[in-house]
């Protein structure tokens, strides 16, 4: 059964899907880490692949940029393809000195300036949070492997270019670690579907220090985050 945005057949996707924003990062993960990856979707250039990692079926498919985009793809994966877990593997801009360039952040929650929750008929304020099982699993694996991770709030923003130069200040004073553009929508879709979600992000640039990585580096070199997400996917095969 295909959807307007996905040509995959039933059973083509594994129980757990890694979702980077960039289609080229999805291709990189599939080709560099998965055993015998096969292309299961290529609608609109959003390539999806399924292979195995440590003997466990795992899929990877791009989400595109922004909450409307990941909202579409995660909704279809959860509701039409039987996917149980989606792990966002993305980049984020550091907003706290707790985070350094290339640090890995686990998003326990996702603050947002988006009105995405209104689509669910919510009249109050919904708090988008990660699934605890995925979060705990990721933190435990990171500790076991000696990988330093920061755990805390992300900001999922609708704006990459903000007209207000001080827009980030209010989030910084509330202890938000980093800003990205997808996690809140993913967490809300997971909550609505009764499924699991986690955002694992690498700090690709820093709003306070001005440090930044280039596009090629973001596409192919944040392997600590990728391996961590894959190891979580392997562990979730038994959950």
Contacts 24+ apart (CB under 8 A), 49-55: 50/12, 50/13, 50/14, 53/230, 53/231, 53/233, 53/234, 54/230, 54/231, 54/234, 55/234
Q: Which residues are catalytic?
A: 205
- The CA-atom distances, in angstroms, between 111 and each of 25, 42, 62, 157, 172 are 25, 31, 22, 8, 12
CA–CA dist 230, 235 (Å, integer): 9
């Amino acid at each position: 059964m295909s959807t307007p945005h996905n040509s995959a057949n039933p059973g083509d996707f594994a129980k757990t899907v890694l979702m980077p924003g960039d289609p080229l990062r999805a291709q990189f993960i599939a080709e560099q880490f998965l055993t015998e990856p096969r292309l299961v979707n290529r609608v609109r250039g959003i390539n999806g692949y399924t292979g195995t990692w440590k003997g466990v079926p795992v899929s990877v498919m791009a989400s595109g940029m922004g909450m409307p985009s990941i909202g579409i793809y995660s909704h279809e994966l959860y509701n039409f393809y039987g996917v149980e877990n989606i792990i966002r593997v993305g980049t984020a801009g550091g907003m706290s000195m707790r985070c350094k360039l290339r640090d890995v952040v686990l998003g326990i929650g996702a603050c947002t300036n988006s009105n995405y929750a209104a689509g669910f008929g919510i009249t109050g304020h919904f708090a988008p949070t990660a699934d605890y099982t995925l979060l705990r699993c990721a933190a435990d694996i990171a500790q076991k492997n000696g990988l330093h991770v920061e755990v805390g709030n992300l900001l999922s923003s609708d704006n990459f270019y903000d007209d207000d130069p001080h827009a980030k200040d209010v989030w910084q004073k509330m202890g938000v670690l980093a800003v990205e553009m997808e996690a809140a929508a993913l967490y809300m879709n997971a909550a609505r579907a009764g499924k699991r979600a986690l955002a694992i992000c690498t700090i690709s640039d820093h709003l306070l220090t001005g440090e930044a990585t280039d596009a090629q580096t973001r596409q192919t070199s944040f392997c600590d985050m990728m391996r961590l997400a894959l190891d979580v996917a392997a562990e979730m095969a038994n959950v």
